[in-house]
Amino acid sequence: MDDTLTLQVYDLETMVLTGVYSEETHLPQPLRISLDVELDCPDRFDPETPLDASKSYLDLRHAATAGIPTGVHFTLIEAVADHIAETLFLQDSRVRRVQVRIVKLAIAEAGEAIGMTLVRHRR
């Protein structure tokens, strides 16, 4: 069995142009995005191990925020998740699996989390 490393970034909030209904299609809406990104893992992490043995959490954050194009309307949040996963696969060949969880904040009525989770593996 291969060792893996999973980097996690949770509860990032960003505005994305997404939605199906007419009231959703003209303005960006708030999404809460969480990521689990599985990487190939080196044999060992010593105290002096450099950052490039892992991946910067800022890269993950960027893929889920500033890396989402502002002028593109994503009909489904599933497409937003796919874009994030593809961005992470393109950034780093060590990325093996990406899990993206998106919660649509604008449709919650009583604080519930309404959304989806997409898991993609490198092909």
pLDDT at 24: 67
Q: Is the pTM of this model over 0.85?
A: yes
Provide the phi-psi class of 111: left if phi over 0, else alpha when psi is between -120 and 50, else beta: left
CATH numeric code, 4-121: 3.30.1130.10
Q: Where are the domains of the chain?
A: 4-121
Percentage of the residues of the chain whose pLDDT score is greater than 90? 75
Q: What is the pLDDT of residues 77-90, one digit of tens each?
A: 999 999 999 999 99
